A and B are shown apart, each in its own frame.
Chain A
């Protein structure tokens, strides 16, 4: 667990990381702010070992639906998305099946640090917040079939992007990545699927499912999350977006969890 002192250091580091990047912004008087609303669908693949359920590796494919926004500004960039995934996970060893339902949301805010707007790579730094809720339903279990985990992370993040033209068409290749410093994680009781705040709570409120969690940082919790994208812009300003998301996640506590998630999403970009 984090001490107050170490928490302070981490917050300070985060603060410096975010704000130290702001003074290198490039200028371009002709820049036109663009805002897009995005909707997409795709497929995902998950590997997970959740020791609260099993020491076995469960893997499987599934589908995903996503919506979000992108705001491309002269001095920065921000995006958000919400996504729902359903995956059918199997263990080769036990032959059992887990249904995995995941809802996640992310907001990222970037400040331009390096590069210009003349077709070169541009480098941004900023911060991101990420929320994840996962329900894993082991179809062969009875009283403890449904395991839920919730995460909320705050992370410094970085972004690379490069607009380019090919066959007289406008494209953009880019990459986001984030590495959380602080994560709030909520798991069920040690040997139950019941949440701590629900014990002797006959009429729980929605937020009771989120309370009594723990704050984790490196050493106990590690996560790297990346998004690689290719955008194609139509002449009317709308476009299509192809994303590849990858996340590796490791929580070391009682009932540790390791998760690897991949998703490919095809989205439409509607210019607002």
Chain B
């Protein structure tokens, strides 16, 4: 090759670069079967609870693939895919399209609600002169007991905010009592979860020495039992040392306490002065991840397992120490059975 012919090469390179899209292309118009198969395969390889729930995923494919392939429009296809995902019985599993959002609601709909915000607000919060909404935390003092309601772990909580609330409960100059509170109620009923870091922030504020609370396992391969080694999770006190809270704490839960709220309840159960009261949490022990389908729809599903430090799989919920439902007569009288029982437990 003579040197004076080399000038062709730069132009060839520029031409070649223009052809790159021939090698990087998505499926332009995926058919129903391709969308179904992609969803089935992605979940098959990355979902974390097939073995724990004894799910026959191959059978689910044979049950719903035909419906998906025969779907005549987006709604029918969406419904067939949603039916497939419903088999997983997991509140962390969603199919999201512009037209709809699929979700399994069974983790709480089959159980009593055990929560009435109207009663809490009208009869416990608003009548109290100590009622404040500090960031995402509704807090007050009810019958000499501190009360915090946290609606969503999606709303950020800081250690300094918790320090302030504890200070408020402990220092008579900034509350209506003549002394410190007798204990604390942390109410996470109807808290559907959010960021796990907020769960750690609150649990660490009430923890003592470093305590192991759980093992996390990440999916690291396509087989149903491909998981990493355990990642140990700990809680340890983090906050103002002068205002450590060593008095009785009751955490109120119901079946709608899900995901990060579920994990929070599990972590708090390892703190000696904490009692879980109410109904079992709804579960949700896997960290959900997102993925996309070839037609642009979005799917979300669990991709980790959490086993607490006692060996329980918290995907199925955390059992309370004191099982309690709201009493219908109490509700008629504007009383929250769980708050009343928690106050009794703390003061006696």
Contact = CB atoms under 8 A, between A and B. Distances in A.
A189 interface: yes
Contact of B3 (A49, A115, A177): A115
A61 to B, nearest CB: 15
Contacts of B288: 142-143
A199 B229 contact: yes
A162 interface: yes
Contacts of A40: none
B218 A192 contact: yes
Contact of A190 (B222, B290, B295): B222
B291 A248 contact: no
Contact of B13 (A138, A199, A200, A246): A246
A62 B234 CA distance: 42
B296 A93 contact: yes
B10 A175 contact: yes
Interface string B297-308: 110100110000
Nearest to A54: B292
Interface string B218-233: 1111100010111110
Interface in A17-62: 47-49, 53-57
Contacts of A138: 290
Contacts of B294: 55-56, 93
Interface string A137-149: 0101111110000
A189 B218 contact: yes
Nearest to A259: B24
Interface stretch (B15-23, B52-60, B170-178, B336-344): B15-23
A199 B231 contact: yes
Given A55-B294, A56-B294, A190-B226, A244 B24 contact: no
B46 interface: yes
Contacts of A141: 289-290
A176 to B, nearest CB: 10
Given A94-B296, A120-B3, A191-B219, A47 B24 contact: yes
Looking at chain B, what size class is its interface with the partner chain?
Answer: 35 or more
Contacts of A142: 288, 290, 300
A191 B46 contact: yes
B6 interface: yes
Interface string A107-118: 000000011000
Contact of A177 (B13, B26, B46, B220): B13
Contact of A173 (B10, B14, B27, B292): B10
A48 B23 CA distance: 11
A156 interface: no
A260 interface: yes
A199 B290 contact: no
B72 interface: no
A227 to B, nearest CB: 9
Contacts of B221: 190, 254
A133 B112 CA distance: 51
Looking at chain A, what size class is its interface with the partner chain?
Answer: 35 or more
A175 B23 CA distance: 23
A260 B10 contact: no
A192 B291 CA distance: 11
Contact of A200 (B20, B229, B297): B229
A141 B299 CA distance: 10
Given A189-B218, A199-B218, A160 B10 contact: yes
Interface in B140-194: none
B26 A140 contact: no
B13 A189 contact: no
Given A115-B3, A191-B46, A96 B292 contact: yes
Contacts of A226: 13, 17
Given A54-B292, A121-B3, A190-B226, A47 B46 contact: no
B26 A55 contact: yes
A233 B300 CA distance: 56
B211 interface: no
B224 to A, nearest CB: 12
Contacts of B300: 142
B195 to A, nearest CB: 9
Interface of B: 3-4, 6-7, 9-10, 13-14, 16-17, 20-21, 23-27, 38, 45-46, 48, 218-222, 226, 228-232, 287-298, 300, 303-304
30 contacts: A48-B24, A49-B24, A56-B26, A96-B292, A121-B6, A123-B6, A138-B290, A141-B290, A143-B289, A144-B290, A145-B290, A162-B6, A175-B13, A190-B45, A190-B226, A191-B46, A192-B219, A192-B303, A192-B304, A194-B218, A196-B220, A196-B228, A244-B14, A246-B13, A248-B23, A254-B222, A258-B23, A260-B21, A260-B23, A262-B17
Closest 5 CB pairs between A and B? A94-B296, A54-B292, A191-B46, A246-B17, A191-B219
